[in-house]
Amino acid sequence: MPVMLDDVDALAKVDASGMLRQMTALADQLDRSLSSDVRIDQGTEKLCLCGLGGSAMGGDVLCDHMERTSRAMASVVRDVTLPEWVDRGTLAILISYSGNTRETLAMYEEARRRKATTAVITSGGRLQQLSAENGDPAIIVPSGLQPRAALGHLLGAAASVVGAAGLSSIDKDLRNMLPAIREELRACAPQVPLDENPAKQVAMRLQDKIPFVYSSRGVRPAGRRWQTQINENSKMLCLYGELPEADHNQVVGWVDGDRRPECQPVFLRAPSDQGMMADIVRATISIFEDFRLDPVVVDLRGGSALENIMRGMVLGDHVSYYLAMLKGVDPSPVSSISELKKRLG
Q: Is 248 a catalytic residue?
A: yes
Using left for φ > 0, alpha for ψ between -120 and 50, and beta otherwise, residue 273 falls in beta
Q: At what angle do helices 305-327 and 54-69 cross, to 10 degrees?
A: 160
CA distance 42 to 137: 13
Considering the candidates 232, 242, 307, 318, report the single residue annotated as catalytic: 232
Return all residues near 26 (Cβ < 8 A) that are at least 6 apart.
Answer: 151, 152, 181, 185, 313, 314, 317
Question: What string of H, E and C letters represents the secondary structure of 22-73?
Answer: HHCCHHHHHHHHCCCCCCCCCCCCEEEEECCCHHHHHHHHHHHHHHHHCCCE
Sheet strands side by side (includes 239-243): 239-243, 210-216, 263-269, 296-299
Considering the candidates 196, 248, 262, 342, report the single residue annotated as catalytic: 248
Residues 296/201, Cβ–Cβ less than 8 Å: no
Sheet strands side by side (includes 46-50): 73-77, 46-50, 90-96, 117-122, 138-140
Residues 225/317, Cβ–Cβ less than 8 Å: yes
DSSP 8-state secondary structure symbol assigned to residue 234: S
- H/E stretch holding 132 reads helix 125-134
Within 13 Å, how many C-alpha atoms sit on residue 40's CB side?
30
Q: Is 115 a catalytic residue?
A: no
Q: Is 196 a catalytic residue?
A: no
Considering the candidates 13, 115, 172, 341, report the single residue annotated as catalytic: 341
CA distance 237 to 213: 11
Residues designated catalytic:
232, 248, 341
